[in-house]
Amino acid sequence: MLFVFVASHLLNHALGIISLATMEAGREVFLAVWRNPVSSIVLIASLLIHFGLVLYTMFRRRTLRMPVREALQIVAGLAIPPLLAVHVIGTWGLNQNFGVTDLYAYVVMAIWVFEPVEGLKQTIALLIAWFHGCVGLHYWLKLKPWYPKVGGTLFALAMLWPAFALFGFASAGREVTILMHDQEWLDAVRAAIGGPDEAGVSWALAAIRNSYWGLAVILVAVLALRWIRMTMRRASELTLSYPDGCALTVRRGISILEASRDAGIPHASVCGGRGRCSTCRVRVGNGKEHLPPPGEDEARVLKRVGAAANVRLACQIRPINDLTVTPLLPAAAQASDGHARPAFIEGSEREIAIMFVDIRAFTQMAEKKLPYDTVFVLNQYFRTMGTAVEEAGGRLDKFIGDGVMALFGMDGDAAEGCRSALIAARAMSASLQDLNANLKEDLDEAIRIGIGIHAGPVIVGEMGYAAVRSVTAVGDAVNTASRLETANKDFKSQLVVSAEVVERAAVDLSQFPLQEISIRGRDEQVAVHVLDDATKLPEIAAAKAA
Ligand code: FES
C-alpha cells in the first residue's frame, strides 16, 4: 500500500516534466484516490503498521549485529518518518486542520524557492523511501519463479521512476521561479492556497517539533524495553556446547536430552528419557561443577554401567549454567549398549600385555588355493588362535588379514596380563601342531606362525564409528608388540617376547639368552627372548579369566 502510494506520488511529480499545469491536474486525480476517508484510514494504518513492524523487529532481535543490507533497511525504515514529517504536516496536516490547499505551486515555492535546504531533505527522504520499498519488494519477490525474467526491467524502472520524479519537480521549480515574476499569477496562487496564517504556521512548527520528540521517545522506549527483555532472557537461558562446535541457547530447566531433540541433534535414548537405559549418557565438561549431584535413580544407572565421575544421563540433568556435553553413544545405540560395561570403555590409560600373531608366508599359501579353501583354513586357524587367547584370559582385539591382535590384563594388572599372554602363546603353538595335523590333507605345507608380545602403558577405549566400534588399544607398546611379531622373520623363530613381559610375568627364560634388537620408530633397543617354538615356554599357572 505504501509503495503504491509513493509510486503514484512520484508519478505525479514526474508530470512536472510536461508542465506545472499537468502536474496540478495529476494532483487532482492523486488526491481523489488518496485523500478520501477510506484511503486515508488505510494509508495511515499502513504507515503505523510499517513503523510498528520496524520497531517490533528491533525489539525481537536477539542481537543488533546484522548484515549491512538488513541494517540499512531498518535504518531507512526508522529515518523515513522524521524525514517526511515536514512534508506531511506542511501539506496534509495544514490541509486537514487549516483548509490550506496544498497545490504543487505552494509546495514548489516553499521548498524550491524559499527553503532549498528543506527541498534537499525532501529529495533525500523521497529516495530513501523509494529504495527502501524497492529493496523490500526485491527480497519478497526474488523467490518467485517468474522474477528472474522481469528482474532487469523492474530494476530499470526502479532507477528511472524517482529520476523522472526529480526531473519533474526540478522542471516545475524552474517554471514556478519564472512564474513568480508575474504578480497576477502570484496573487492568484496565494488566493487559491488560502494560507497558512500565523496560527497555522505555529501549529505546523509545533507539530513538527512534537513529531520529532514523539518518534525519539518511541525509539528510546523500544530500545529500553528490548534491553530489559534481553536481560531477563539472558538470566533464564544458558548455552549447551556440543563437541562439533554446535552451541545451543536453551532455557533453564530443560534436560539435555530435550534440548538435543528440540535442536534436531540426534541423541540416543532407548528408554525414551525415563532414566533406565543409560544410552543417553554424556560426558560433561566445562560447567559440570554447577550440576546438582545425580539423584538416586540416575546414580544407580550410572553405577550399573560403571560410568566415570564426569558422565551423566542427558535425560536426567537439567543444567542451570552453561555446560559442555559430549554424547557418548551413537544416536542409533541399542538397549544392549546400556548394559554394564567396563569403565575402560570410556577411554583410559592402562598397563597391559599386547600380542600379535601372524601366519608366515600366508600370501604364497593363499595363491595356491581356491578362495573357498583359503577361507576354510583361515577360519580354522582363527578359531584355534582365538580359543587359545580366550582360555588364557585374554581379549581378542581384532583379526587383521591373517593376523591376530590380542590384549591381556584388561581387567587385572599388567603382571597377570603378561602371564596370560605367555600361556596363550604356548597354547597357540601347541594347538597349531594339532591344526596342522588335522589339515594335513588340505595344506601343501604346515602353517607357521610368528608371535610378538610386549607390555606397557597404552590407551584403551571403545573406538570406531557407527556400527564398526570395538574396544582396542593404541600406543607405543602396541607398535612395539607388532614389530616384535615381525622380528620373527629375521630370527626364523615362532616367538619374540620382550624382557619386560618376562620380568613382569616372573617367568624364568634364562635358557633363551637376552638379545637387544632395534625397533623401527623407537630410539632405544628392546631386550627380547627369542624362541623357535613357543611350546618350549615353561608351564605357567593359569591366570584369572578376563
Ligand atoms: S534416555 Fe534412557 S536413561 Fe536417558
pLDDT for 129-139, tens place per residue?
899 999 888 88
Helix, strand or coil, per DSSP, at residue 65: coil
Q: Return the pLDDT at 370.
A: 67
Say which DSSP state 248 is in: E
| Ranges 61-75, 162-176, 419-433: which has the least confidence | 61-75
CA–CA separation, 537 and 453 (whole Å): 13
For the chain, the helix, strand and coil percentages under 3-state DSSP, each to the nearest 5: 55, 15, 30
Assess whether the C-beta atom of 277 lies below 6 angstroms from ligand 1.
yes
Nearest ligand 1 atom to the CA of 301 is: 3
pLDDT higher than 70, residue 333? no
Q: What is the mean pLDDT of residues 90-114?
A: 86
CA–CA separation, 504 and 473 (whole Å): 19
Q: Of 258, 270, 296, 325, which is best to mutate to test ligand 1, by the most ligand atoms within 8 angstroms of its C-beta?
A: 270
CA–CA separation, 434 and 447 (whole Å): 11
Q: What is the mean pLDDT of residues 438-453?
A: 85
Q: What is the mean pLDDT of residues 120-142?
A: 88
Q: Return the pLDDT at 470.
A: 74
Q: What is the mean pLDDT of residues 443-458?
A: 90
Cell reading at 62? 536477539
**More confident call, 304 vs 127:** 127
Q: What is the mean pLDDT of residues 422-438?
A: 92
Segment (H or E) for 506: none
| Band of pLDDT at residue 386, cut at 50, 70 and 90 | very high
pLDDT higher than 80, residue 532? yes
Q: What is the mean pLDDT of residues 368-382?
A: 78
Q: Return the pLDDT at 141.
A: 85
| Ranges 260-269, 339-348, 401-410: which has the least confidence | 339-348
Assess whether the C-beta atom of 196 lies below 6 angstroms from ligand 1.
no
Nearest ligand 1 atom to the CA of 278 is: 3
pLDDT higher than 50, residue 324? yes
Q: Which tens digit of pLDDT belongs to each residue from 67-79?
A: 787 788 888 888 8
Q: What is the mean pLDDT of residues 223-249?
A: 87
pLDDT higher than 50, residue 496? yes
For ligand 1, the distance from its centroid to the CA atom of residue 245, given in whole angstroms, is 24
Nearest alpha carbon to residue 172 among 15, 26, 7? 15
pLDDT higher than 50, residue 506? yes
Assess whether the C-beta atom of 61 lies below 6 angstroms from ligand 1.
no
CA–CA separation, 146 and 383 (whole Å): 69
Q: What is the mean pLDDT of residues 464-477?
A: 77
pLDDT higher than 70, residue 22? yes
Nearest alpha carbon to residue 360 among 250, 419, 443, 471? 443
Q: Return the pLDDT at 346.
A: 60
| Band of pLDDT at residue 273, cut at 50, 70 and 90 | confident
Assess whether the C-beta atom of 315 lies below 6 angstroms from ligand 1.
yes
Q: Return the pLDDT at 340.
A: 53
Q: Return the pLDDT at 544.
A: 46
CA–CA separation, 365 and 378 (whole Å): 11
For ligand 1, the distance from its centroid to the CA atom of residue 74, given in whole angstroms, is 46
Nearest ligand 1 atom to the CA of 271 is: 2
Q: Return the pLDDT at 545.
A: 42
Q: Which tens digit of pLDDT belongs to each residue from 144-169?
A: 888 888 989 999 999 999 999 999 99
Q: Return the pLDDT at 533.
A: 93
**More confident call, 521 vs 237:** 237
pLDDT higher than 50, residue 36? yes
Assess whether the C-beta atom of 81 lies below 6 angstroms from ligand 1.
no
Q: Which tens digit of pLDDT belongs to each residue from 199-210?
A: 888 898 999 999
State the chain's mean pLDDT as an integer.
86
| Most confident by average pLDDT, 114-128, 165-179, 191-205, 469-483 | 165-179
pLDDT higher than 90, residue 58? no
Q: Return the pLDDT at 336.
A: 58
Full DSSP string of 412-466: S-HHHHHHHHHHHHHHHHHHHHHHHHHTTTT-SS---EEEEEEEEEEEEEEEEET
For ligand 1, the distance from its centroid to the CA atom of residue 324, given in whole angstroms, is 19
CA–CA separation, 392 and 539 (whole Å): 12
Assess whether the C-beta atom of 256 lies below 6 angstroms from ligand 1.
no
Segment (H or E) for 266: none
- Residues 39, 1 contacting (CB under 8 angstroms): no
Assess whether the C-beta atom of 328 lies below 6 angstroms from ligand 1.
no
Assess whether the C-beta atom of 327 lies below 6 angstroms from ligand 1.
no
What pTM value is reported for the model?
A: 0.48
| Band of pLDDT at residue 542, cut at 50, 70 and 90 | low
Residue percentage of the chain with pLDDT more than 90:
39
**CA-CA-CA-CA torsion for 484, 487, 491, 492, nearest 10 degrees?**
100
Identity at 223, one-letter amino acid code: L
